[in-house]
Structure formats: structure tokens, C-alpha cells
A and B are shown apart, each in its own frame.
Chain A
Amino acid sequence: MAGQTSTASANLKKKRLRSQILVIAAIVLVFIVCHFITGGRLLRTNNIKAILTQVTYPLMVGLGMMFIFSTGMIDLSVGAQVILAGNVGAIAVEILGLGYPGLIIGTIVVMIICELLCTSCSLFIGIPSWVAGLGCALVFEALGMILVDSQAEALGTAIVYMKKCNALGQFPVIFIIAVIVFIASYFIFNYTKFGFNLRAIGGGGEVAEAMGINRKKTILLAAVIGAVVIAIGGITQLSYTGRFTPTSGMGSLSGIFKSLAVVLISGSFSRIFNDAVGCLVGSFIVAGLFNVLTLVGVPSGTGQDICLGLVVMLCGILASLRYKGVMK
């Protein structure tokens, strides 16, 4: 049986590797085909730079969500949190003149507080995490508006434009930051005790607790790490676009819909890639898709969203093809 086991295990590994190569090859092939469809514009240097820049935000927010969602906490207030935290960072730069330290510390600290507040509501009171998330989203959105509104007069605009401290949003700095965040997230998620513990909690909370894992501590730690990763994404995005627009009525969800799509795609590919790599693949699919569709003139807002929805479903279908379930 030992021999059979190692063969079965090796076969499974081989199959997984084959699937991974196939998916990546398929994505590369699609990019090459699209390059010709777009009249050779897709793989031009400036467009590659644009794609690599636009990959960063969905990737980092997706990775942060991966940490939070993996524990079973479906927190949909992330978008509102990043708007609030980003605006605090921008105010620290523009109004308080605190420069990069203000931007980084302000954004990260506020993001951590918000995420811990939301997670705690679910963890200690027992509210379902998605309910706590939606409730907190409304609160954070409102706080974001109040905060920006209070500064609007000083700034002469309805939003806080961050005109300084833009270096973190410039290529290649933004991409290098994203790569570092990805590598760090990958190792934390896949090769550390904490990573295994949080996945154990997400996969079977009772088993994990019985094995001596402190569930609450792990979930809170996941919230902090997730918040830091998302905050870094927020900081670079703020440096890139110069703004996070406060919104209300759950409008903040639209700000993270690409990141949610990344997480969905990652989930679809969970049998092929581990979650962190799935996020990377997903963010390239999402950013590449929007870029290609714009290049070929598909209207944004309608046509592009339809395509994204179809791609998310297609990824799920492709990843499920020939899945045999229980192995012997």
C-alpha cells in the first residue's frame, strides 16, 4: 500500500503540475492572440507597464482578503475600510504634512483598527461575518464621508487629492512592492505555522481547535496581516491615482469588485493553484482582461463587466473539468 500511495501521490502531483502549466500556457497564449487582435498594442512596453501597474491593487487587496476569508470571515467592508484608511493617509500627507511616514502609518493603522473592529464584531458577539461586514461597511463609508467632508473646505475640493508622496505609485516601484507583498504572503500562507493554522480554521474550525489551535487568536492575527497587506495595496493605489473617493450606500463594494473577482478566480483554480498563486493568476486575468477589452474597443461599464463575469465562470468551469473528487 505504501508503494501505491507514493505512486498515487506522485501522479496527483504530476497532474497538478500539468494543469498549472496548461493554465499558465493558456493565459500566455491568450495574451499572444490578443496581442495580434489589438494590432500589436497589447505587448508593447508601455502597455505591459500599464498592465503590471494595474495588476497591483487587485492583487494586494485580493491577497489581503485571502488571509481574512481563509478563516471563514467573509468581510465585505474591506472596500470601505481602504477608502477610510486611504483618506486618513492622504490627509496625513496633504493637510498634516507628515509625508511618507504619515501616509504609511496612517493608512496601515486605520486599516488594522477597522479590520479588527469588524472581525471582533463577528468573533466575540457571534454575528455572522458577512452581516458584521456589511454593517461595518456602512459605518466606515459614513466615517470616510464625514472625514473628507470635514477637510473639504480646507482643500477646496470634495475629495482629498494626494498630490505629494506619489513615488510609491510609479512604475516599477508599485510593481516591486506588489511582488514583495506577494512573495511574503505566499510564504506566510503556505510555509508558516500561522498560515497552516488559519487554513485549518477555515477548513474545519472544530478540528483545528481540538488540535490545540487558538481559533480567536489566529483569526485576529489573520485580520491584522490581511489588513496590512490591503493597506499596502491602498497606499500604492493612492499614490498611483491620488484619490480614494468616499462613497455611501455600499458603493465601496464597487471599489473592490476586481479584487473580489480575483478571489473568486483564485477559488475557482483552488484545485490547480494554491490560493496565493491563484490570486496572482486571477489579478493578471482581471487586469489583462480590462486592458485588452479597452484596446479592442469593448465598452467599459457594460461589455467589459459582462466579459469579467463570463471569465470568472469560465475559470470555475475549466478548473472543475475532469475533477474526480475522492482519490484512492
Chain B
Amino acid sequence: MKRMKKFVALGLVLATLATSLTACGNKDNVPSGNEGQSAEESGGTPENDANKDDAANEGEGDSKESGSKEDGAASSEGAFKIGYNYFGPGSYALTTLAGNQSFVIEAFGDTYQDISDDFQVDKIVQDIENLISSGCDGIIIWLPADNLYQTVIDKCTEAKIPFVFADKVPSDPAIKEALMDNEYFAGAVGPANAEYGSLIAQYALDQGYKSCIISTGAQGDPTDTPRIEAFKQTFEAGGGEVKQEVYTDSQDNIQPYTENALIAYPDVDFVYGTGSDYGIGACAAAKNQFLETKVLTSGLDSGALELLEDGTYMEFVNGDFWISGTMATVLLENYLHGNPIKDGDGNPVWVDDIMPFEVSAEQFADFKACFVDKSCYSVEEIQAMNGISYDQFMDIIKNYSLEERLAAGK
């Protein structure tokens, strides 16, 4: 009996261990032919690409054959392995951002390896190092801390790995200037983060709203902080008053914490949720307290949009659907495929003002069909971005809007 128990116990440990290994492994859809290929081997610079092409033409069977790439079409086999970090799971915004990046990589016929930062900014440098070590040919970096940019730039440069910044871009002009001369820097694309807040504040003022509660994540969150600052600046300048800022350590506490704030200030005109999770939680909190408080939020989550369609609490939702991830990946793919996108002065792309758009309740069905149910850019559209020029790229960004996408979708 005792022996039996020991066997059962051993089985339990093995099961746990096996599950751990499965669970802890990063999502990596690299074909076996790519495994073990070092960064140096794969290169990533245009020169290296040329070498690869030569090798392919010589019929050596290298899995990174790029003959088809020169035609601007995606290879059926993953030729490049692209790595990217994401802050952590469970957030619609972060998941969509990561999903957009994966979509582009796959559309280009390449493979990707992602790595979670477990919501720790300090872990990002380590994660980038790990991506470099695992043989990624290019890296998409999401980094919300200005002081760490130089470190990751140095890591990638020393390893000769091309990289782009997605969603977050350095604010230090010196870093930007240095990056312009970095041969491995493929570009940076980020949203006009502060505009999210100021647009919502402006909308609230237009409605005649005078007071509000802000519901947001942990204090100092790199995404939410500029939104809150811009919101407060605009709203308070227009005569509005922020009664309370509710910071929530765990997403599961959004509703109870917001409910407490609504009890304290039941007469506020609206709650501003800096992300869709906070907006949805605020709607539930208002419902629980039998209040008619309106909710305005940034984040095109389908949950938030369904509440918008319902119309009882959610009144305004805006966002850009995190296409900075899409466009930054396009930059990196072009770079790897031998087309580094640069302006007339030879500078890589630097975009930090993708503007959010509003989705109204009436537009919900179309938005869902075009953005949620499928990618807002089709595979063909993405593939067509292979080999584009700087001006073409900037036009895509400039033209990006809900209406433009809906029209393209039709």
C-alpha cells in the first residue's frame, strides 16, 4: 500500500513537472529546420540576406531560402524567426497588440517566438536577451521605460539583430537621434497615447459633463499614465473636476473598487475607464449601485463595444485597435526581407502619433466584423506591404481610420 502511494506520488510529480514544462514553454512556432540557428548565422542585415539568397540559389537547402521573398510573396516555410515580448496575459489590449504582430509575421511567411514579461518592466531586458539567444532574426520590442531603451538597443546592436519598437517609443531625443544612425534599427511605431485621454475629456466637456471618476490600473502604468494626465489637463482646463482616481492592483478588483468610489461620489457625471477592462468594470459597478452614471473608455474590446451597443452605461469608446504592432512588424519584415524603409535622409520610420478613432453604437456591427472577427488588414494587404517605400508606409498610417478600414473590408 505504501509503495502504491509512493508510485501515485511519483506520478503526481511527473504529471506536475510535465505540465509545468508544457505550460512554461513559450509559444514558438519555429519549424524544426530553424532550431538552433544563431543570430549571427541568420544575420538579418541586408548583406546577410544576400548571402542567404546566394546560398539558396546554390541549392544548399537552407530553410531560410529567400528567393520567393524577392518577389514580395510569403514563403511557405518560415524563413525568418521573429521574436517579440509582451507585457503579460489577460489584457485585451496587450493580447491584441501581440496578435496583430503575429498576424503580420505569419502573413510574411515567417515564424515567431513570443515571451511574456510577467508584468515586470525590469524583466524585459532579460526577455530581449533570451530572444537574442534563442536565435531570433529580428525583434519587436515593447518597452514602457525610457531608462531601459539604451540597454536593449545596445543588446540588439551588439548581437547584430534588427529591431523595431512597437506601441511604445523612446521619448528621449538623444536616443532617437542615435537610433537614426543605428544600422540595425528598423523603425518605431506608437500611438498618440495622450490623445486617448484628451479626446475623451473633450467629448465629456462637449456633453456638458462636469465631474468624473477615473478608473485605471496600478499607479505608474506606462500606458495609462499619459492618458490620465492628458485627460485631466483637458478636462480640468474645461472646468471639469476629477473626484477620485481609482487604482486597481488586480483586474478582478476593478468592479468592487470602482463601486466604492461610486458610493463616495454617486453624483459624478461619468467614469473614465483608461482601458476597456476598467470601462466594463465601471458599467457593472454603476449597475450594482443602481446609478445612471455614464462610462467613457479607451479600448476597442468587444465586451466594451457590446456595452456600448446596449447603451445603458457605456457611452463612448475610442482606440486605434493597436495597429502600431501591425505597422512596426511591417517595418521589421521589410528590413529583414531586404527593404529597410527609410525617408529621403536615410532615417528609419519614426511614428508616435497614430490617432484613436471613436466607434459609435451604430458602427458596432461593422466594426466587429472588420476588426474583431478578423484582422483589420487582410493577409493580401499585409503581403502587399512587402517592399513598400517610406511614403507608401506613411500614407497607410495617415489614411488609417475606422471608415477607411470599413471601406477596405467591404
Contact = CB atoms under 8 A, between A and B. Distances in A.
Interface of A: 38, 41, 44, 46-47, 50, 53-54, 117, 120-121, 124-125, 135-136, 138-139, 142-143, 145-146, 148-149, 152, 156-159, 161, 171, 237, 240-249, 251, 254-255, 290-291, 294-297, 299-302, 305
Contact of B9 (A120, A135, A249, A255): A120
Contacts of B244: 294, 297
B248 interface: yes
Q: Quick one: which of B5, B19, B248, B260 has the most chain A CB within 10 A?
A: B260
Contacts of A294: 244, 246, 257, 260-261, 263-264
A301 B252 contact: no
Interface string B1-42: 000011011101101100110111000000000000000000
A50 B264 contact: no
B90 A148 contact: yes
B363 interface: no
Interface residues of B, number: 59
Contacts of A295: 260, 263-264
Contacts of A290: 256-257, 260
B299 to A, nearest CB: 11
B16 A135 contact: yes
B346 interface: no
Interface in B92-108: 92, 94-96
Nearest to B305: A156
Contacts of B10: 125
A299 B263 contact: no
Given A46-B263, A124-B8, A301-B219, A247 B88 contact: yes
B91 interface: yes
A299 B245 contact: yes
B301 interface: yes
A161 B254 CA distance: 14
A254 B368 CA distance: 33
Interface string B207-242: 000000000001100000000000000000000000
A135 B120 CA distance: 19
B284 interface: yes
Given A124-B12, A142-B23, A251 B260 contact: no
Contacts of A240: 255-256
Contacts of B280: 161, 242
B116 interface: yes
Given A246-B89, A299-B219, A302-B219, A50 B263 contact: yes
Q: Quick one: which of B23, B120, B219, B290 has the most chain A CB within 10 A?
A: B23
A251 B247 CA distance: 17
B256 A241 contact: yes
A296 B265 CA distance: 10
A73 B270 CA distance: 46
Nearest to B247: A301
A241 B257 CA distance: 11
Given A124-B9, A302-B219, A157 B16 contact: no
B88 A46 contact: no
Contacts of A297: 244, 264
A150 B91 CA distance: 15
Given A121-B13, A156-B302, A159-B92, A139 B19 contact: yes
A299 B302 CA distance: 30
Q: Quick one: which of A38, A142, A148, A255 has the most chain B CB within 10 A?
A: A142
Interface in B40-67: none
B118 interface: yes
A148 B251 CA distance: 15
A170 to B, nearest CB: 8
B261 A125 contact: no
A257 to B, nearest CB: 8
Interface string B103-131: 00000000000001011100000000000
Contacts of A53: 256, 288
A296 B243 CA distance: 11
Contact of B302 (A38, A157, A244): A157
Nearest to B2: A124
B249 interface: yes
B137 interface: no
Given A54-B256, A117-B16, A124-B5, 8 more contacts: A148-B90, A156-B368, A158-B89, A241-B254, A241-B256, A248-B89, A251-B118, A301-B248
B118 A300 contact: no
A121 B289 CA distance: 44
B333 interface: no
Closest 5 CB pairs of A and B: A142-B23, A249-B118, A124-B9, A301-B247, A294-B260
B218 A301 contact: yes
B9 to A, nearest CB: 3
B315 interface: no
Contacts of B261: 294
B71 interface: no
B372 interface: yes
A244 B252 contact: yes
B250 A249 contact: no
B13 A125 contact: yes
A90 to B, nearest CB: 12
Contacts of B96: 158
Contacts of B95: 152, 158
A218 to B, nearest CB: 16
